[in-house]
Each structure stands twice: as structure tokens, then as C-alpha cells.
Chain A
Amino acid sequence: MSIALPEQATSPVAALAPHPDPAPSRGRRFAPGLAAAGVVLLLVAVATVAPRLLTGTDPLAADPFHALEGPSGAHWFGTDQLGRDVFTRVVHGARYSLSIGVISTLLSVLSGGILGLVAGLSPRAVDEVLSRALDVLSAFPEVLLALLFIAFTEPGTPSLIMAIALAFAPRYGRIVRAQTLLVRRSGYVEQAVTFGLSRTRLVWRHILPNVLGPLPILATIGLGSAIVNASALSFLGMGPQPPSPEWGAMLSESRNYLRVAWWAAILPGATLTITVISLTAVGRRLQRRFEGRR
């Protein structure tokens, strides 16, 4: 005789989480990793809003006499091939990466959300058309989709934002559609029908709030991917143009000197990695909180 584990409830919120944490969260524990992630995000936020608080130097000030110097007390992250302070550039770069990530994520959540909601609430035929369109878009890797979009527009920050938004919209669209169907067929919506609520009021009062609830958390987790993809595209020269201190662009510029000056590439790269990990960690924590609440 074997005792099968009860089926894990699969919610659409879990769809974005390829590695769900198997350990049940027991009460409120102090999580050092989570605290560190919070500090990182706080620093990144400060760097975005007021970079001058963290560094006094100019990210574009070149000093050829001190090019490619290793990390020191004067230059924490060393200097690059033009003698610019890498730390200053990393701090100022946060504004690019974060704003591109946030704006594109907002756009993709908004557009994907509307599409998903319309698909979920529409008659079957409309739903089929919209869903298949989302499926086709989802079939392309996100970076490829973004590249295709940029190929038809001018490289630069606005088209990078649009490209990332387009690439990620299908993901949110499918999740919102699934959630909409779930809520639409739920017992409480049916119950509300028996109170004689009109369709519009059903949507506004019961369906919309319950569909949108998990979206902010999904967006937090998705923000990390958006930032990575944005950096990848600017690495390829599709985003902010030099000498802008965008993290991906910095990696691209410094890669030729990797053998002599590892710091100019590794340290911006590490900052990017740590930021994304922190975002994901905090997002997952929020997600677990939220799911525990239901």
C-alpha cells in the first residue's frame, strides 16, 4: 500500500515559478538572505532615484591617465579603458536598467492583462483567436521577439522598452486569462449571479479584483527577467547607446579588456546578477505570503 501525496494545488501564480520552494514556510522566521535582498534593492532604489547620494563623481568623466586600474580605495570597482570610475557608472546605470525594467514590465502587464481579461471574459470564438495569438507569440523566445521588434525600429531606449514589453506581454496575458476563467467559474461568481447582479457589476465587483490580486507579485518576479533581457539587448547594442552607463552596455564596452581588467566587466555583471536575484527572492517571498493568505 502506498500513500500518495495530495496533489499540489496549481495556481496560475505558480506558473511563473519553475522552482517552487518545497519547504513549507513555518511561521515568521528571520531570513538573512531575504534581508540581504532587501538591502540590495534599497541600494538599487537609492541609486535610481538619487545616485549622487552614493557617489560624488561624474559617470562620464574620463581620465586616461588612470585607465584600467584595479579596485582600490579611490576607485572601489576600478576604472575602465577610458579611466572612468566603474563604481560611479554602475550606480548611475541603475537608473537605466531599473527604469527600462519597470516601465516595460508595467506595459507588458497592462497590455497582457487586458488581452487576457478580454480573452477570459469573451465568448469562446473570441477567446480562441486571442489565445492562439498569445500562444504563437509565446512560442518565440522572448529575446528573439524583442530583437525582431527592434529590427523594425530604431535602436534606443524607447524601442528597447517597447520590445521588452511586447516580449513579456504574452506571458501575463496567458496567466490573466487562466485566472479569469478560474474566477469566472468560481462558486462566488455564480452565487453573485443569483443575487441578480448585472454582468458589468459582476466583472467590476468580483471578477476583476480577484484576477488582478496576484498580478503585482507576478510583476515583481517578472521584473528580474525584464531587466536581464534589457541588459542583454543593450549588450548587443539595441538599447541606450554609449557612453550611457547602462549595465549591459558597460559589459559590452569592457569585454575586450576582460583579460587585463576583469573588474570593468565582472563587477557591473555581478551587480546586475545580484539585483535580479534579490528581486526574485523578494518576489517569491511575497508570492508565498499571498498564496498562504488564500
Chain B
Amino acid sequence: MAALVTVNDLHVTFPGGGTGPVHAVRGISFTVERGECVAIVGESGSGKSVTARSLVGLAGPFAEVRAAALEVDGRDTGGYTDRDWRRLRGRVAGLVLQDALVSLDPLNTVGQEIGEVLRTHRVGVAATRDAQVTALLDAVHVPEPAERARQYPHQLSGGLRQRALIASAIAADPPLLIADEPTTALDVTVQASLLRLLAERRAAGSTLLLVSHDLAVVAGIADRVLVMRDGLIVEQGPTQRILTAPEHDYTRMLLAAVPTAASRGHRLSSTTRSPLPAPAVDPSRTVLRADGLHKHFGTRHAVNDVTFTLARGEILGVVGESGSGKTTVARIALGLLEPDGGTVHLGQTRWTGVPERRRRPDRRRLQVVSQDPLSSFDPRYTVEKLVAEPLDLRGAARRDRVVELLERVGLGAAHLRRHPRELSGGQRQRVAIARAVGPRPDVLVCDEPVSALDVSVQAQVLDLLADLRAADGTALLFISHDLGVIHHLADRVLVMHDGRVVEQGPVEDVFARPEHQYTATLLAALPVLTG
């Protein structure tokens, strides 16, 4: 039997504004066999999502899709009208997108949403529709399916929403299930359970096409991997072969860039193993100390008895899932939020429970790098003004220092006049880091600084942070949901769950011999790059 999906010489072009047309996919060919799980892996702008969407006619209203062959389930989709595509979607190919909250109609209950797919494709009869919906929700392991079917998307958690979306995608029992970043933005434990669900669908006979930026996520489930870059497939092959014996430099670079336990102490942004400079941790000098922090939001105990110290030159990783209170801890440490109980000291200076006026002179000793640098930049400022703002310098000295800082983070004088909107995500984060280290802080609070970045850019930023702390002896309070990043970078780790610190200690000890059940669960849920 022929392959379920045959793509031959696919091109997708978007009419660009100003800069001319954007050639998002530049002539790629691949097949997906029945019952197979194929993963398209690539960084942002690689064309992976556009490729997947082209298979169901959703490349976009302005996209120009050309292909020598684009066949799905034996149908030649060349010359398909909107109507033809609608009939194909859901019936032949189900699509699961990243953000279930956006993909589900907020005015429909989950049951209506799934029922609509059934009605559109005339699956079953109206009388048994509710039962069918319940059965579908049950199939994707939504607890209390009958009750959930009556709820609206916003009433469900992210994981349940994603399950509901999968239920609607498989409602008409399509042979092909396309999932575009199905687990991105979900907590690691939820991600693990969704990956199990996808594996289950596959065992039940579905063909899967996954799209992900994360090699580790797809490694455990995909039979074959296509690595895309700049609209081209640079390498494809069996997952095992790609992971263990990558042929293309880009694949090698991607693999090397993934932070893991094994990469600890080494540079990520180079395919040859080179060690990072040795950190100079001075345990006798505590630069930041938090004692028994508590914070309530309404009835929720967001931070419950959190105590930690940070020594000069040390990196303390704070890891936890969403809602664990890690960002609240960061905001308290930064003096942006007053705790309900407990104290923070910056060096010997009392940091909480004092008026802002008293904190101001010491503010520059504690700087922050946030997840979204663009929102932390005044929209009117150029790179030069941004980096210069926390500096106490004027005129030429100021300009020189800004250039020096930009050069430290791998940018240069050429970027001075640029506007952050014109920079890439990685460059923006570099600007944010240059600005934060400008006042020579004792402590740098990094709140998910690499979460929004591609893995190769993340590698560069993590290397940069490691270099900076080794050179300056800056201590880092490094907050992340990503255990791999923490394991790679941090000296000590603080595991948070429901506002409490469930475990803390040296990274190697905690990750090798977790004492708390929750830590063990987190570690077990971590997708691993088996090589």
C-alpha cells in the first residue's frame, strides 16, 4: 500500500511586506507510512509548522503552496478548494495545535466542540452523540468525561485542554494525526502524560506527524525524524540513527546544544566538548539570604516557608512547575513584592520590610533578566539607551562602557542605534543581559531567561551566563521549569512544589538521588535523549 502522506518538492511562499516574498519551505520531499510516527524537528523559522499545516490546507490565507505531489491518504490535494480541504480535515487528518486555549472556541463547551466534529463528518447519529463524546474524552484519559464535556475550555487545566483538543482531532477517526508542538508550554509531568497518550494512539493504529522544536520530546516516540532548517530538510532518518550518528553539522549542533546532566561543565554552543571556565564560589560570603518567606494571594498560599542562601559566584537553580511559586520568590527577592512573612537580606542589608526609598541606593546590586526581554524594554529606547540606563556614567565614558558591555555579550557598537524590535530573540536577551550586568551586580535574578529561545540560541545564552559568573563572581538565582537547564548550569537546586521547597541541595545529589517523591516524579517525566 502507498504511503499515507507523500510530499514531493513542496514550496511555500508568503508575500512579505517590504523585504520581498518569504520562501518558508523551499522544496522538500518526504513520506509518512501508515502506522508510522514521524517527527519534524527544527528551530523557529525552519518551516516545520508551515509544512505540517500545508498537509491540511492551513498554510495561511496568503500562502502560496506549490508541490510536485502532495498526497494525503491517496488523495491528490493539488487544486483542492476550501471545501475539499474542510472535508479532508478531521476526516482524513486531525490537527492538534500548541495552544488549546486558542484552538478551542471559548463559547462552546468541550462537548459541543467535539460533537461539532462528529456532526460535520456525520459520525454516528444525534441521539448517541453525547455518549460518543464521553467515550472520546475517556479515550484520551480525561477524568470524569461526562462532567468535563459540559465545561468550557477556560475551566480546564492546560493538560486537560490539550487532551480535549486531541479528542476533537480524533473524533472522526482520521488515519493521520498531526500535532504541532503539542506539549510546548505544558509542565513536564503533563507533557510526559500527553506523550504517553500520543504513543497510545499510535499503538492503536494512528499515524502520527509531530512537529517540535525539542528533539528530546520526540525522541521517545518517533520512528523517524526529519530535521528542518531554513525551509529545507537537512537530514532525515530513523530516530536512533539521528540521535547517535547525526550526519549533518546542523543536527550535531542541535544535539550538542541540549542542556543535560552530561553537558554539565561544558559549553553547549560548540559541537566539540570544551569546558566552561571554573566557577569561583565563595561559600563564606552570602550575597542573598531568604528566611522563612511566606506570601498569600487571596486564600492561596503561593509561597510557604521558603528559605535559601546564595553565596558569591554561586548559581542556585529554582525548579518547579507552573504555579509552584518560583516567580513569586523571585519577585520577593527583587524587592518588587513584599512578603507576608519572613525576611530577605541582600548581603548585610535588610531588603524586605523597609521602604522603597531605603532599598533604592542598593538596587543596582541586584539585577534581573526576565523571560520576555522585549516587555522589559521601554518601547521608545534604542539598545544604547537601554543598556546605559542603569549606568552612572555620562558622555563618552558611558558610550564606551555600553560598547564594552555589548561586546561582552557578543554584540557590538553596530547595535547601539538599533531598536530591540529589529533584533532576534537571542539578541534581545543578550541586550537584557548586558544591561543587567552593567552595574556589576552581586546577584542576577534570571526568571526563565531561556524559555522562549530556540535550543541553539539557548545554548549560547547559557554559555554566556556561565562565562559571566566565572569572570565577575556574580551569583545567579536561576529560575526555570526545565530540569535539563538547571542540571546543566546550577550548582545547587531548590525544588518547589505548591509554594513549598520540597528539596534542596547540590544539583548532582538531588538529581541522582532525589529524596522527595515529587522530585523523583519530575525527573521521571523528563524526556531523555537516549543515544
Q: Do these two chains really belong together in a complex?
A: yes
- A interface with B by C-beta (< 8 Å): 1-4, 6-7, 26-27, 186-188, 190-196, 198, 206, 209-210, 213, 294
Given A1-B90, A4-B102, residue A195 in contact with residue B363 (CB < 8 A): yes
Contact: A190 with B90, CB < 8 Å? no
Q: Could you say which of B359, B367, B376 has the most chain A C-beta atoms within 10 Å of its C-beta?
A: B376
B98 CB → nearest A CB, Å? 12
CB-CB under 8 A from A209, the residues of chain B are: 380
A263 CB → nearest B CB, Å? 46
Contact: B360 with A1, CB < 8 Å? no
A277 CB → nearest B CB, Å? 28
Contact: B375 with A187, CB < 8 Å? yes
B22 at the interface (CB under 8 A from A): no
Contact: A26 with B17, CB < 8 Å? yes
CB-CB under 8 A from B117, the residues of chain A are: 1
Binds A, one of B42-50, B103-111, B461-469: B103-111
B79 at the interface (CB under 8 A from A): no
A22 CB → nearest B CB, Å? 13
Contact: A4 with B380, CB < 8 Å? no
Q: Measured between alpha carbons, how far is A27 from B439 in the docked complex, in Å?
A: 41
Partner of B113, one of A1, A188, A193: A1
Given A188-B376, A190-B376, A210-B378, residue A2 in contact with residue B334 (CB < 8 A): no
CB-CB under 8 A from B302, the residues of chain A are: none
CB-CB under 8 A from B375, the residues of chain A are: 186-188
Partner of B106, one of A4, A187, A198: A4
CB-CB under 8 A from A2, the residues of chain B are: 103-105, 108, 113, 116
Q: Measured between alpha carbons, how far is A192 from B334 in the docked complex, in Å?
A: 12
Q: Measured between alpha carbons, how far is A195 from B439 in the docked complex, in Å?
A: 9
Contact: B364 with A196, CB < 8 Å? yes
Contact: A1 with B89, CB < 8 Å? yes
10 A–B contacts, CB within 8 A, in A order: A1-B165, A187-B370, A190-B376, A191-B370, A194-B336, A194-B367, A195-B439, A196-B361, A196-B390, A213-B380
Partner of A190, one of B15, B102, B336: B336
Contact: B378 with A188, CB < 8 Å? yes
Q: How large is the interface on B (under 10, 10 to 19, 20 to 34, 35 or more residues)?
A: 35 or more
B372 at the interface (CB under 8 A from A): yes
CB-CB under 8 A from A192, the residues of chain B are: 378, 389
B7 at the interface (CB under 8 A from A): no
Q: Could you say which of B17, B94, B97 has the most chain A C-beta atoms within 10 Å of its C-beta?
A: B17
Q: Measured between alpha carbons, how far is A92 from B27 in the docked complex, in Å?
A: 66
Given A194-B334, A196-B361, residue A1 in contact with residue B168 (CB < 8 A): yes
Q: Measured between alpha carbons, how far is A187 from B336 in the docked complex, in Å?
A: 12
- B interface with A by C-beta (< 8 Å): 15, 17-18, 58, 89-90, 94-95, 97, 102-106, 108, 113, 116-117, 165, 168-169, 171, 334-336, 356, 359-364, 366-368, 370, 372, 375-380, 389-390, 439
Q: Measured between alpha carbons, how far is A151 from B334 in the docked complex, in Å?
A: 56
Q: Measured between alpha carbons, how far is A2 from B169 in the docked complex, in Å?
A: 10
Contact: B364 with A187, CB < 8 Å? no
| Closest B residue to A1 using CB positions | B168
Contact: B95 with A191, CB < 8 Å? no
Contact: B379 with A188, CB < 8 Å? yes
Contact: B95 with A1, CB < 8 Å? yes
Contact: B58 with A3, CB < 8 Å? yes
Contact: A191 with B169, CB < 8 Å? no
B49 CB → nearest A CB, Å? 13
B288 CB → nearest A CB, Å? 14
CB-CB under 8 A from A213, the residues of chain B are: 380
CB-CB under 8 A from B95, the residues of chain A are: 1
Q: Measured between alpha carbons, how far is A56 from B362 in the docked complex, in Å?
A: 71
A72 CB → nearest B CB, Å? 50
Listed from nearest, the 10 A-B pairs whose CB atoms lie closest are A196-B363, A187-B375, A195-B390, A187-B376, A191-B376, A196-B360, A188-B378, A1-B168, A27-B17, A2-B105
| Closest B residue to A187 using CB positions | B375
Q: Measured between alpha carbons, how far is A255 from B376 in the docked complex, in Å?
A: 59
CB-CB under 8 A from A26, the residues of chain B are: 15, 17
Contact: A188 with B377, CB < 8 Å? yes
Q: Measured between alpha carbons, how far is A194 from B168 in the docked complex, in Å?
A: 46
Q: Measured between alpha carbons, how far is A187 from B165 in the docked complex, in Å?
A: 32
Contact: B94 with A1, CB < 8 Å? yes
Q: Measured between alpha carbons, how far is A192 from B389 in the docked complex, in Å?
A: 8
Partner of B97, one of A3, A195, A198, A210: A3
A67 CB → nearest B CB, Å? 57
B372 CB → nearest A CB, Å? 7
Q: Measured between alpha carbons, how far is A2 from B368 in the docked complex, in Å?
A: 40
B271 CB → nearest A CB, Å? 35
Q: Measured between alpha carbons, how far is A294 from B378 in the docked complex, in Å?
A: 11
